[in-house]
Amino acid sequence: MSPPRPSSAVRRRRPAARRRSNAEGRGNLDCAMATVRLRGQLEKLAGGESELDVEAGTVNELLQQLEQDHSGLEGWILDERGVLRRHINVFVNGEPAEPDTAIEGNDRIEILPAISGG
């Protein structure tokens, strides 16, 4: 019998949002439950899961958590320095997002690879 797995900040499709904040309202203690939608190859790399609930304070924290909890995504979203790869697009509630964009409760995050070709 294998030991129980540690709990993770990534959860499958839970509708409730939870927010913790510090006195300044930002930083590591400021977390919200956001629904993440993976598109294209990223969905396949995450084991076929297209929607996940992830608790994080910023887009970068969310991306780090995704790669930590889904080893198939490791290196596909963030490079070896932890920087968002230029061919990955992240949107928060339909708007382009930067790695330091704050996550609010019930935000919808879309992560998709850029489409290119010739």
How confident is the model at residue 105, as a pLDDT? 86
Q: What is the DSSP string of 50-96?
A: -EEEEEESBHHHHHHHHHHH-GGGTTTSB-TTSPBPTTEEEEETTEE
pLDDT band at 2 (very low <50, low <70, confident <90, very high): very low
Whether 98 shows a pLDDT value over 80: the answer reads: yes
Evaluate whether 115 touches 72 at the Cβ level (below 8 Å). Answer: no
Percent with pLDDT over 70 in the chain: 73
| pTM, two decimal places | 0.72
Averaged pLDDT for residues 79-92: 94
**Alpha carbons 48 and 40: distance in angstroms, whole number:** 10
Query: Tell me: the pLDDT tens digits for 19-34?
Result: 333 333 344 456 888 9
Best CA proximity match to 105, nearest among 27, 23, 26, 17: 17
Is 70 exceeded by the pLDDT of residue 65? yes
Average pLDDT over residues 60-71: 94
Band the pLDDT of 109: cuts 50, 70, 90. Answer: very high
Please, what are the domains in the chain?
A: 10-113 (3.10.20.30)
User: Is the pLDDT assigned to residue 8 strictly greater than 60?
Assistant: no
